[in-house]
């Protein structure tokens, strides 16, 4: 057993409860965390020096096992639905105690102090306690890293405790099954048990910021990536999992602000995180050089496989999961902006991965259409980040991230609408999904074309183009775009069977309309008028 590198007064490490694992490793460097992982036989280095691990039973988030404690703090503020599942406070205490007992029994634990929110006005101090050294490396990579000065008198606002090895008894703990991801706003605790999927740690903090920032600080929190051009113009990219936030924000011609979570304040946008969490499936140096080169010492690669007899990663191998991932600190991307704070956004992109092949690859939205799309939050999920999803399937998720938003979707939508109008932000809908037919017949849009469409929009090259209105969705499609063959800009042209296209468009419009029913009474006439289906 190794000795702790830094000895610190352990009684201060947790607000209460923790008697002590035999060894507490506090604030280890990435090198030390890598060594500890190798020592325990829980990971290996690949040929470029990154640490490769398996997260175990869970290789994606488990939304059905994510609970918010329903107590006097949250009862009236949280929007309780099948994504914000309530759990009684008594179970919080039971699970907390179980975790404390568990931490006492295991030989070592790793503790890290870090923070979220690049804008110091909104900084949130986090103490992450992990059973595994690699979960701790994930926290190092993904959250912001305090300097020595900032560590003196570090006062955690929130705690995250992650114990993948602890399996709960659902009857005793009020959970669905043996694993849980539980948030208590009263106790300022995120408790994770039974799952080693590191994304639970990241999305736990995202969930609480999506409550604290809009509810208490008037800051709009967003599930989006963001980058900045040479002239300081900021762009944000909203989208559900797999739609391209991480891929498309890593653009060598623009500075990366962040790949997944941002706040929009009165005078800026800022990243919540200090790192990226990129998908690795089918990763190639040619198509995604920035991400490919981030796989180096310090990066944490999850659930990939090697070519037999080597330690060279086969990025095409999805035998463990489609959702292979790598986390790395923001500065592993060559042109990352630090601190990750940008100006008010000039362009907003809504990314969707439409497996029906109906939506145009690039289109311009009116303010009403923009709000309609934001509230709808459509994509057709490709194989996934969530346990149990392996086939593409249409999904509507309000604000492009309903599983992480504890407040009513209308809260975020109203804030976005107000900001968009005030700043006259351009809004574009980008379909990174299918062209030439639906999944099974057509193909996914070429990444290089999507990049060209986004560049053209950002550089103002579409401003004076001729546009045509989509017959069912009413969005404005440019008739040409630099770097993109014109015949793919109207998706109807790419289908051999035009009748089939028209039918699928109407079918998809029907799904939008049906999904929107529950919001219709609470939104303006302008937004209702933007519904698809009436533009022929
Ligand atoms: P998450 O919220 O889970 O992090 P994300 O929105 O960041 O999801 P990405 O990690 O960017 O999604 O995933 C997009 C995936 O789709 C990548 O694997 C990328 O290589 C692939 N892809 C294929 N074609 C395109 C395209 N035209 N545009 C964007 N991504 C594409
Ligand atoms: Mn991402």
Ranges of the chain with pLDDT below 50: 1-9, 15-17, 384, 389-390
Inter-residue contact 341 to 119 (CB < 8 Å): yes
279 close to ligand 1 (CB < 6 Angstrom): yes
**How many whole angstroms from 90 Cα to the centroid of ligand 2?**
35
Indicate if 215 belongs to the active site. no
**How many whole angstroms from 240 Cα to the centroid of ligand 2?**
9
Inter-residue contact 441 to 331 (CB < 8 Å): no
199 close to ligand 1 (CB < 6 Angstrom): no
pLDDT in tens, 272-308: 999 999 999 999 999 999 999 999 999 999 999 999 9
* CB neighbour burial string for 144-182, b if at least 16 within 10 angstroms, e if fewer: bbbeeeeeeeeebebbbbbbbebebeeeebbbbebbbbb
Nearest ligand to the CA of 243 is 1
CB burial class (10 A; 0-12, 13-18, 19+) of residue 72? exposed
Beta 85-88 vs 66-70: how paired, if at all? parallel
Ligand 1 atom with the shortest distance to the CA of 259: 7
Instruction: Give the pLDDT confidence score for residue 15 in this predicted structure.
Output: 47
d(CA 74, CA 186): 8
Instruction: Give the pLDDT confidence score for residue 232 in this predicted structure.
Output: 94
Catalytic residue among 25, 132, 255, 325, which? Answer: 325
Residue 373 CB neighbour total at 10 angstroms:
24
- CA distances to 176, 286, 354, 414 from 531, rounded to whole Å, are 37, 39, 17, 18
Instruction: Give the pLDDT confidence score for residue 363 in this predicted structure.
Output: 98
Q: How far apart are the first and last CA of the chain?
A: 72
Inter-residue contact 430 to 418 (CB < 8 Å): no
In the chain, helix, strand, coil percent, each to 5? 30, 25, 45
Instruction: Give the pLDDT confidence score for residue 533 in this predicted structure.
Output: 87
Residues 6+ apart with CB under 8 A from 80: 70, 86
d(CA 65, CA 175): 7
Indicate if 260 belongs to the active site. yes
Query: What letter would DSSP give residue 307?
Result: P
Ligand 1 atom with the shortest distance to the CA of 280: 18
Indicate if 169 belongs to the active site. no
376 close to ligand 1 (CB < 6 Angstrom): no
Instruction: Give the pLDDT confidence score for residue 2 in this predicted structure.
Output: 39
Collapsing DSSP states into helix, strand and coil, what is residue 162?
strand
d(CA 422, CA 437): 38
Catalytic residue among 187, 223, 255, 504, which? Answer: 223
- CA distances to 249, 305, 455, 508 from 238, rounded to whole Å, are 11, 30, 16, 20
pLDDT in tens, 25-38: 999 999 999 999 99
- Between the CA atoms of 242, 244, 246 and 249, what dihedral angle is there, to the nearest 10 degrees? -170
Ligand 1 atom with the shortest distance to the CA of 225: 7
CB burial class (10 A; 0-12, 13-18, 19+) of residue 320? middle
d(CA 233, CA 460): 12
- The answer to whether the predicted template modeling score (pTM) of the entire model surpasses 0.75 is yes
d(CA 424, CA 428): 13
484 beta partners: 481
| Own/partner pairs, 8-11, CB within 8 angstroms, 24+ separation | none
d(CA 232, CA 228): 6
Instruction: Give the pLDDT confidence score for residue 23 in this predicted structure.
Output: 87
Where residue 222 falls (left for φ over 0; alpha for ψ -120 to 50; beta otherwise) is beta
Task: Please report the DSSP string for 72-125 in residue order.
Answer: TTTTTTS--SSSSEEEEHHHHHHHHHHHHHHHHHSSEEEEEEEEE-SSGGG-EE
Sheet holding 189-193, edge to edge: 23-26, 108-116, 124-130, 158-163, 189-193, 180-184, 66-70, 85-88
Indicate if 225 belongs to the active site. no
Residues 6+ apart with CB under 8 A from 60: 197, 199, 321, 323, 384, 385, 386, 387, 389
Instruction: Give the pLDDT confidence score for residue 4 in this predicted structure.
Output: 34
278 close to ligand 1 (CB < 6 Angstrom): yes
Inter-residue contact 351 to 248 (CB < 8 Å): yes
Indicate if 502 belongs to the active site. no
d(CA 17, CA 337): 40
């Amino acid at each position: 057993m190794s000795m702790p590198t830094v000895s610190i007064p352990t009684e201060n490490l947790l607000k209460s409860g923790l008697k002590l694992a035999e060894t507490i490793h506090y604030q280890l460097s990435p090198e030390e965390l890598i060594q500890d992982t190798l020592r325990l036989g829980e990971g290996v280095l690949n040929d470029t020096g990154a640490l490769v691990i398996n997260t175990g039973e869970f290789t994606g988030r488990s939304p059905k096992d994510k609970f918010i404690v329903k107590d006097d703090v949250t009862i009236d503020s949280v929007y309780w639905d099948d994504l914000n599942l309530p759990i009684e406070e008594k179970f919080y205490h039971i699970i907390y105690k179980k975790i404390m007992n568990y931490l006492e029994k295991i030989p070592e634990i790793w503790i890290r102090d870090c923070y979220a929110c690049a804008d110091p006005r909104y900084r949130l101090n986090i103490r992450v306690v992990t059973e595994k050294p690699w979960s701790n490396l994930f926290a190092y990579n993904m959250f912001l890293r305090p300097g020595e000065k900032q560590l003196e008198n570090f006062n955690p606002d929130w705690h995250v405790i992650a114990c993948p090895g602890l399996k709960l008894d659902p009857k005793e703990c009020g959970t669905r099954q043996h694993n849980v991801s539980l948030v208590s706003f009263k106790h300022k605790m995120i408790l994770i048990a039974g799952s080693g999927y590191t994304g639970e740690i990241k999305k736990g903090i995202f969930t609480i910021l999506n409550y604290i920032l809009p509810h208490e600080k008037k800051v709009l929190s967003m599930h989006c990536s963001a980058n900045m051009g040479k002239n300081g113009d900021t762009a944000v990219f909203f989208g559900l999992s797999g739609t391209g936030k991480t891929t498309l924000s890593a653009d060598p011609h623009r500075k990366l602000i962040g790949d997944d979570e941002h706040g929009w304040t009165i005078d800026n946008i800022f990243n919540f995180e200090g790192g990226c969490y990129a998908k690795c499936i089918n990763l190639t140096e040619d198509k995604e050089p920035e991400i490919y080169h981030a796989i180096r010492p310090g990066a944490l690669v999850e659930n990939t496989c090697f070519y037999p007899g080597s330690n060279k990663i086969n990025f095409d191998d999805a035998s463990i999961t489609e959702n292979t991932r790598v986390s790395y600190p923001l500065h592993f991307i060559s042109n990352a902006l630090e601190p990750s704070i940008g100006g008010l956004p000039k362009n907003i992109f809504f990314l969707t991965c439409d497996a029906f092949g109906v939506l145009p690859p690039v289109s311009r939205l009116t303010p009403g259409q923009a709000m309609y799309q934001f509230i709808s939050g459509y994509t057709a999920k490709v194989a996934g980040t969530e346990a149990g999803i392996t086939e593409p399937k249409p999904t509507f998720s309000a604000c492009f991230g309903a599983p992480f938003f504890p407040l009513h979707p209308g809260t975020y939508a109203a804030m976005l609408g107000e900001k968009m109008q005030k700043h006259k932000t351009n809004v574009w809908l980008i379909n990174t999904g299918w062209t030439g037919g639906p999944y099974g017949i057509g193909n996914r849009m070429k990444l290089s074309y999507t990049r060209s469409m986004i560049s053209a929009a950002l550089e103002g090259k579409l401003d004076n183009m001729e546009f045509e209105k989509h017959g069912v969705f009413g969005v404005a499609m440019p008739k040409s775009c630099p770097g993109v063959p014109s015949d793919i800009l109207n998706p109807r042209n790419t289908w051999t069977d035009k009748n089939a296209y028209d039918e699928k468009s109407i079918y998809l419009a029907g799904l939008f309309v049906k999904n929107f029913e529950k919001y219709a009474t609470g939104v303006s006439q302008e937004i209702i008028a933007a519904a698809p289906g009436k533009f022929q």
